[in-house]
Amino acid sequence: MKDSLDELFEKVMKVKIFVNRDILRPDYIPNDLPHRETQILRLAETLVPVLKKSRPSNVFIYGMTGTGKTAVTKYVLNRIDIEGRKKGISLNIAYINCRHDDTNYRVLANLCETINAKVPFTGLSISELFRRFVKALDTKDRIMFVVLDEVDALVKKSGDRVLYDLTRINNQLTNAKVAIIGITNDLNFTEYLDPRVRSSLGEEELVFPPYNAVELEDILKQRADKAFVEGAISPEVIKLCAAIAAKEHGDARRALDLLRVAGEIAEREGADRVVEEHVRKAQKELEKDRVVEVIRSMPFHSKLLILSIYLIEKEKGRGHTTGEIYEVYSNIVKNFGLEPLTQRRISDLINELDMLGIVNTKIVSRGRYGRSKIASLIVPYTHIKESLKEDPRMNSFL
Ligand SMILES: Nc1ncnc2c1ncn2[C@@H]1O[C@H](COP(=O)(O)OP(=O)(O)OP(=O)(O)O)[C@@H](O)[C@H]1O
Ligand SMILES: [Mg+2]
């Protein structure tokens, strides 16, 4: 007898939406990157001296999230690597994601690993580690590319010590040479840098502008052709994904996520093709993921603040003054056995929540009481609960 799971299995097997959904994942690097020809060429021009054994300039790459910085850099380095091998040039490429390796130690240990220099996981001082790296590197006549992707994460967490050392390393080398490629989507980040580091890191600068809707459409088309079964996707669906992502800020990752999730929803529903409604649902799902992720990674007091606004709205509806919110917040904080932040600080945190699109604030005039700021949550309560419930103490309030 067939049970409901048999039916589900059958349904899933019958419909086929994807040929290969991995092609839509963010870490897949296509062979062809439409609308990045200029950046590809500029980066290649900067790095190409390596094929004549000269040290290329350091490059600093910046642009908003999802504008192809990582994809282009990996693509160009890969091509240079292939060309270098053909010419018998000794080339090392260290690709470091600084959001993952966010300490000076880990960055240096990673560099040592790339050139097979053995170092302990922990225990050496940074200067000793650096000294060993320099020594091991200089045993050969070679050029090393050091890619520091999302380099802002390293600097914010651990300062610019390693960057400083690396931008000066060539003075200490006689045989080997090092070129650095720094990548960031945080345009204000260079303010954190020592001016000397800033200028040597930015010998060349490369800006990646956001994509517009038409460009995103081309990018999606190219990936969709390989990812979906023929007929499972229509130009209208691609257009819609591109339009939504362009309206946000021209983020190709976002556009690809929309398309992938829309496909997954269609598959789950047993549809034989993706339609616009699936894209709308995907948009909601992704928005929820975004909000939950943003709230989860917030400091504890910001979470308590969100909890406070949530609780007061549950009881009395939307739109309360900073003062009213502060009162609820203070009570909750005391319940947790903590000291409340000052009202001034909470007011700043409310502004931050506004910028992140979690609350909406407006100034209202209250006659002779003067003007005050009113805040309301603008994300669905289910998202708030989802984000906060992990903490058992907060969960008891929900
Ligand atoms: N021109 C393009 N053609 C095809 N795919 C692209 C293009 N630009 C970006 N992508 C794809 O979009 C996604 C995001 O690109 P990428 O990871 O390079 O962004 P990024 O600029 O490094 O963003 P972040 O600052 O968040 O790290 C990847 O899946 C990438 O393959
Ligand atoms: Mg990137």
**What is the domain-level CATH number for residue 223?**
1.10.8.60
Work out the average pLDDT over 88-113.
95
Any atom of ligand 1 within 6 Å of the Cβ of 221: no
Work out the average pLDDT over 308-321.
94
Written as one string, the DSSP assignment of 297-326 is TS-HHHHHHHHHHHHHHHHH-S-EEHHHHH
Q: Is residue 188 part of a domain?
A: yes
Any atom of ligand 1 within 6 Å of the Cβ of 380: no
Work out the average pLDDT over 94-98.
97
Cα–ligand 1 centroid distance for 191 (angstroms):
25
> Can you tell me the distance from the alpha carbon of 216 to that of 27, in angstroms, rounded to the nearest whole number?
17
CA distances from 13 to 1, 5, 16, 21, 267 (A): 19, 12, 7, 15, 10
Structural tokens at position 221: 């088309």
382 is in an annotated binding site: no
167 is in an annotated binding site: no
For residues 115 and 249, state if they share a domain. no
Query: What CATH number corresponds to the domain at position 127?
Result: 3.40.50.300
Ligand 1 atom at minimal distance to the Cα of residue 69: 21
Structural tokens at position 174: 């006689």
Structural tokens at position 199: 């200028």
- Please say whether the dihedral angle defined by the alpha carbons of residues 249, 253, 254 and 256, taken in this order, is positive or negative: positive
Biggest CA-to-CA distance, the chain: 81
For residues 242 and 193, state if they share a domain. no
Any atom of ligand 1 within 6 Å of the Cβ of 158: no
- Of 213, 210, 211, 234, nearest to 224 by C-alpha is 234
Out of 235, 270, 295, a domain closes at: 295
67 is in an annotated binding site: yes
For residues 144 and 158, state if they share a domain. yes
Any atom of ligand 1 within 6 Å of the Cβ of 256: yes
Q: Is residue 67 part of a domain?
A: yes
Q: Is residue 268 part of a domain?
A: yes
Ligand 1 atom at minimal distance to the Cα of residue 74: 18
Q: What is the mean pLDDT of the chain?
A: 93
For residues 126 and 244, state if they share a domain. no
Residue percentage of the chain with pLDDT more than 70: 99
Task: Tell me which residue has its CA closest to atom 28 in ligand 1.
Answer: 26
- How many domains, in total, are found in the chain? 3
70 is in an annotated binding site: yes
For residues 187 and 247, state if they share a domain. no
Query: What CATH number corresponds to the domain at position 387?
Result: 1.10.10.10
Any atom of ligand 1 within 6 Å of the Cβ of 209: no
Cα–ligand 1 centroid distance for 71 (angstroms):
5
Q: Is residue 346 part of a domain?
A: yes
**Contact status, residue 217 vs residue 233, Cβ threshold 8 Å:** no
Q: Helices 322-335 and 343-355, interaxial angle, to 10°?
A: 110
139 is in an annotated binding site: no
For residues 186 and 242, state if they share a domain. no
Cα–ligand 1 centroid distance for 284 (angstroms):
22
Q: Is the pLDDT higher at 366 or at 327?
A: 327
3 state SS of 361: strand
- Of 307, 317, 275, nearest to 397 by C-alpha is 307
The preferred substitution site among 32, 61, 62, 67 for testing ligand 1, maximizing ligand atoms within 8 Å of CB, is 67
Q: Is residue 22 part of a domain?
A: no
For residues 114 and 61, state if they share a domain. yes
The preferred substitution site among 70, 74, 189, 293 for testing ligand 1, maximizing ligand atoms within 8 Å of CB, is 70
> Can you tell me the distance from the alpha carbon of 195 to that of 200, in angstroms, rounded to the nearest whole number?
9
pLDDT band at 55 (very low <50, low <70, confident <90, very high): very high
For residues 328 and 250, state if they share a domain. no
Q: Please report the pLDDT score of residue 96 as a whole number.
A: 97
Q: Is residue 185 part of a domain?
A: yes
Global confidence as pTM:
0.84
Q: Is residue 6 part of a domain?
A: no
pLDDT tens per residue across span 169-183: 999 999 999 999 999
Q: Is residue 26 part of a domain?
A: no
Residue percentage of the chain with pLDDT more than 90: 80
Cα–ligand 1 centroid distance for 30 (angstroms):
10
Out of 295, 312, 344, a domain closes at: 295
Nearest bound ligand to the CA of residue 63 = 1
3 state SS of 177: strand
Task: Tell me which residue has its CA closest to atom 13 in ligand 1.
Answer: 253
Any atom of ligand 1 within 6 Å of the Cβ of 270: no
Out of 208, 235, 262, a domain closes at: 208
Work out the average pLDDT over 37-52.
96
- Of 90, 131, 95, nearest to 113 by C-alpha is 95
Work out the average pLDDT over 248-261.
93
Give the position of tokens 């994509």: 211
pLDDT band at 15 (very low <50, low <70, confident <90, very high): low
Work out the average pLDDT over 109-125.
91
For residues 284 and 308, state if they share a domain. no
For residues 197 and 84, state if they share a domain. yes
For residues 120 and 255, state if they share a domain. no
Cα–ligand 2 centroid distance for 78 (angstroms):
16
Instruction: Give the residue numbers spanning the domain of 134.
Output: 37-208
Nearest bound ligand to the CA of residue 253 = 1
Q: Is the pLDDT higher at 117 or at 1?
A: 117
Q: Per-residue pLDDT for 12 more than 70?
A: no
Q: What is the dihedral of CA 132, 133, 137, 143, to 10 degrees?
A: -160
The preferred substitution site among 72, 249, 253 for testing ligand 1, maximizing ligand atoms within 8 Å of CB, is 253
For residues 105 and 220, state if they share a domain. no
